[in-house]
Amino acid sequence: MKVLSKLTVQKVYQRFSFEEDIKQKLNNNYQPCCKTIYFIICNSFKTHYRKGYLISNYLLHGINNLWHGINTIIESMKYNRSLFFFSIIFCNSLIIPLFTKAQKPLDHDTTYYVTYPGTLVGRFYFSKKYASFTLPAANDGQDLEYKANTLRTMGIGATYNNLTINLAYGFSFLNNDDDKGKTKSIDLQAHLFPHKWALDLLAIRHEGLSFEPKTDDDSDNNYYRPDIQQLFIGFSGYRVFNPQRFSFNAAMTQNEWQKKSAGSLLLGGLVYYGQIKGDSSLIPKQDENYFPKAAGINKVNFFSIGVGGGYAYTVVIAKHFYITGSGIVNLNADFSTVQDMNDKANKTTLKPTAIYKAAVGYNSDSWDISATWAASDIWVKGDYFSNDFSIPTGNYRLIFSKKIALKKH
């Protein structure tokens, strides 16, 4: 009879412990569609069971968070189904003309900007996204600005014609502010510029927000709420009326080159939905005096739909250096709901929204070095509050890109 060594017994016991641990997580925490992933991965690492366990654990955690975020968005849109379906129709009215005319040849003045069909644009970049939700205080009180502790990321990406893919990760050496509390995030932002259009798509979910109360001293007095969740999804589309001479792509996606200064009028609209909620009141005990009618509020929903216009312009210096700025103002119909544990109040108002874009850099036939900023500011009026909620979102980037010709043009 073969005698098992102490080391062999220990390995068998460790493997049994890992498998029991993952089975318990599968049964208690994860969605049914995730439950086979562990066994598939572990079969690929037959003897390296610890490696299979770790990889599968990370994948399960990520997929489960994504699944939970999608379900949250779907459930939240039940807030007002009629407005949701109206928004779908509104978005389609903006998108359909884009695709029905997409097969026509693109005409533009090549003395103002140059396109590169059949060219791949590769990029290396640093990025920082931000999002917050401000609850306005009454009288001279301090507003509460809840912020997501988003990561600084480093990534790579590529653009081919109108298709762009970017992958980024928040490495530890770029982020050293864990003392503010951890935010779990799903943050998808797409800024697209097909011919004659400027489109923005947002799907953001943050869990775990904080704010820094102002004090008389300089001490760090960060207030962190792991239970607070912020949700923000939206779409905006604007017609570019001078696509013959002005290019958004040259400044924002680096796959074109603006050689002369030019600008364009922008007209279009947007539809946004947002929410902030907590397990208990959003107002800390020590600040309740500044929110006399809203001390027990634990959830705010809003839906905005509107139209607007603005202008974009690029200043070109010596053909290669450029500064681009774009500003749009919309007038929105806002539908908000503010609620506490026992009651809720609805409000309908007209409020503005602002959308900004900016870029500065160097461009040529081969290389581009640029810094870009894409952002929006929304103001919504809610019952029980004296002033407007403020919801800013945005994305900063520092980009180094290279044009690689795949076809002759």
Per-residue pLDDT tens for 303-360?
A: 999 999 999 999 999 999 999 999 999 999 999 999 987 888 999 999 999 999 999 9
**Residues 139-162: what's their mean pLDDT?**
88
| 235 pLDDT tier (thresholds 50, 70, 90) | very high
Q: Any residues with CB less than 8 A from the CB of 20 and at least 6 apart, and which? A: none
Tens of pLDDT, residue by residue over 369-403, are: 999 999 999 999 988 888 899 999 999 999 999 99
Report field, pTM of the whole predicted structure over 0.95 = no
Element (H, E) at 237: strand 223-240
Examine the pLDDT at 4 and tell me if it is beyond 50. Answer: no
Report d(CA 385, CA 383) in Å as an integer.
Answer: 5
Rounded to 10°, the helix 49-76/6-28 angle is 10
Is pLDDT at 296 greater than 60 in this prediction? yes
pLDDT for 287 equals: 85
Judged against a pLDDT cut of 60, whether residue 191 lies above it is answered with yes
Torsion (CA) 199, 203, 209, 212 in degrees, nearest 10: 0
Whether residue 160 is predicted with pLDDT greater than 60 in this model: the reply is yes
pLDDT of 2 higher than 60? no
User: Please, are residues 365 and 350 in contact by the beta-carbon 8 Å criterion?
Assistant: no
Beta strands in 18-160 (DSSP E): 113-115, 119-135, 144-148, 152-160
Return phi, psi of residue 301, to 5°.
-120, 150
Q: Which residues of 35-63 are buried (b: 16+ CB within 10 A; e: fewer)?
A: eebbeebbeeeeeebeebbebbbeebeee
23 token code pair: 């089975």
| Ramachandran angles phi, psi of 43, nearest 5° | -70, -25
**Per-residue confidence (pLDDT) for residue 56, from 0 to 100:** 52
Residue 8 has pLDDT above 50, yes or no: no
User: What is each CA distance from 174 to 169, 177, 262, 397, in whole angstroms?
Assistant: 10, 10, 37, 14
* Least confident range of 157-161, 171-175, 383-387, 400-404: 383-387
CB of 314 closer than 8 Å to CB of 261: yes
How confident is the model at residue 294, as a pLDDT?
85
Are residues 359 and 370 in contact, defined by beta-carbon separation less than 8 angstroms?
yes
Burial of residue 161, with CB atoms counted within 10 A of its CB: 0-12 exposed, 13-18 middle, 19 or more buried: middle
Spatial contact of 341 and 296, defined as CB atoms under 8 Å apart? yes
Beta strands in 241-296 (DSSP E): 256-258, 262-277
Residues β-bridged to residue 323: 315, 360
Query: Partners of 345 in the beta sheet?
Result: 338
At 402 the pLDDT is 96
Q: Is the pLDDT of residue 90 over 50?
A: no
If you average pLDDT over residues 205-220, what whole number do you get? 70
Residues 109 and 104: their CA atoms lie apart, in Å, by 16
C-alpha of 26 from chain center = 29
Where residue 102 falls among pLDDT bands split at 50, 70, 90?
very low
- 295 in Cβ contact with 288 (< 8 Å): yes
